[in-house]
Amino acid sequence: MTAPAEPMHELAHLGHASLFTPTPEATCSYFVDLLGMDLLEERDGSSYLRAYGDYERWTVKVTGADRAGAEYISWRTSSPQALDRRVTWLESAGHGGRWVDQEFGKGPAYEFDDPDGHTFRLYFETERYVAPEGKRPVIPVNIQAYAGRGANVHHLDHVNLLARDVRVCREFWEEGFGLRTYEIIERPDGDGELGAWMSSSIQGHELIYTQENTSGHGRLHHLAYVVESREEVLRAAEIMADALIYIEAGPSRHTAIQGFYLYTREPGGNRIEVANGGYLVFAPDAEPYVWTAEEWATKPGWGARIPPEFHVYGTPVVDPEQEMTT
């Protein structure tokens, strides 16, 4: 038996996402009025928002643009040294990027692209949120007082990106950053993977890649904020329905990682999930569960059928004429 590779704990957690939207005001209203987040800051044409359980000052940035999509996704590293080590690896492995200036509430970041062309940033320095008068929690260890507004999302949970080659992206994060993969779905043609669920911790999923079925690249599938119970996912559905927000899928439960979900499209078109649950992986030597295509097609357990558009739509939206069928 060969000794397993030493675990690498260089990435602490998913940090924040910067989203583009053609409807910045409506998108911000979605985050504030419907998800129940706070608008912390507006500067230089961007809005910075946070959920009441986010310990950093913000976890999503919204900027007006001609089309929706993710400008970048970030990871907070586990230390300044880890940040330097990962930059060294990126540059030595031919994935070098560039240092970018500090932005509101965050320290210097190193920006680079994954193999599919999604832009990522690594950073360590960050400003912690300090609740002002009126939002202070009664229990001092809490970040802020219970929000209890809208869908009442608690914190940023995970991001799902589309990739033309899921396996290449998975191996990039495993080899370069030590992310662990908890589930994989094999492609029916045996040539690669349909999906991979990855994490920097025991949390079942933080970064997900699923198959890009169009000619696009670097596209966002969805960004997920978590609520504290399944019941709150159902409540979110009521709130979204009455606000005439498009509900694409759910409420239901996924088979992979088994999170309970509600998928909506914010007014600018980015797919946003209200999520709860998903299992935890305590075993330090757990191997990923690999679903064969045949096994995956049987979808054991329960859960609603996902609509076909879930496997095609992403942001930026591609011209339907360019869409492939696989």
CB of 278 to Fe ion, least distance (A): 8
Residue 50 vs 253, nearer CB to Fe ion: 253
Residue 103, amino acid: E
Interaction between residue 224 and Fe ion (CB under 5 A):
yes
The answer to whether 39 and 27 are in contact (CB under 8 A) is: no
Q: Which of 18, 273, 274, 296 binds Fe ion (CB under 5 A)?
A: 273
Q: Which is nearer to Fe ion, 28 or 223 (CB)?
A: 223
Residue 63 phi/psi, 5-degree rounding, is -135, 135
Closest CA to 209 of 266, 152, 251, 168: 168
**Which residue, 266, 319, 214, is CA-closest to 19?**
266
Q: Which of these segments, 2-10, 53-61, 271-279, 281-289, binds Fe ion (CB under 5 A)?
A: 271-279
Residue 83 lies near Fe ion (rule: CB under 5 A): no
- The number of beta carbons lying within 10 Å of the beta carbon of residue 204 is 22
Q: Identify which of residues 10 and 273 has a Cβ nearer to Fe ion in the complex.
A: 273
Nearest residue to 75 via CA among 186, 218, 226, 176? 176
- Least distance between Fe ion and beta carbon 94 (Å): 30
78 or 203: CB nearest Fe ion:
203
Determine the residue type at 286: A
Which stretch, 52-60, 133-141, 224-232, 285-293, contacts Fe ion (CB under 5 A)? 224-232
> DSSP letter at 285?
T
Which of residues 172 and 263 has its CB atom nearest to Fe ion in the complex?
Answer: 263
CB of 159 to Fe ion, least distance (A): 8
| Residue 194 near residue 166, CB atoms below 8 Å | yes
> Least separation, in Å, of the C-beta of 273 and Fe ion?
5
Q: What are phi and psi of 281, to 5 degrees?
A: -115, 100
Interface segment toward Fe ion; rule CB under 5 A; list 9-17, 185-193, 217-225, 281-289: 217-225
Give the largest Cα separation in the chain, rounded: 58
Residues in 14-43 that interact with Fe ion by CB under 5 A: none
For Fe ion, give the closer residue by CB, 37 or 224.
Answer: 224
Supply the minimum distance, in Å, between the C-beta of residue 206 and Fe ion: 10
The token duo for 227 is 């609520």
> Looking at beta carbons only, is 37 or 233 nearer to Fe ion?
233
Where are the strands (E) in 234-302, listed by range? 247-253, 259-265, 271-277, 289-291
What residues make contact with Fe ion under the rule CB under 5 A?
A: 224, 273
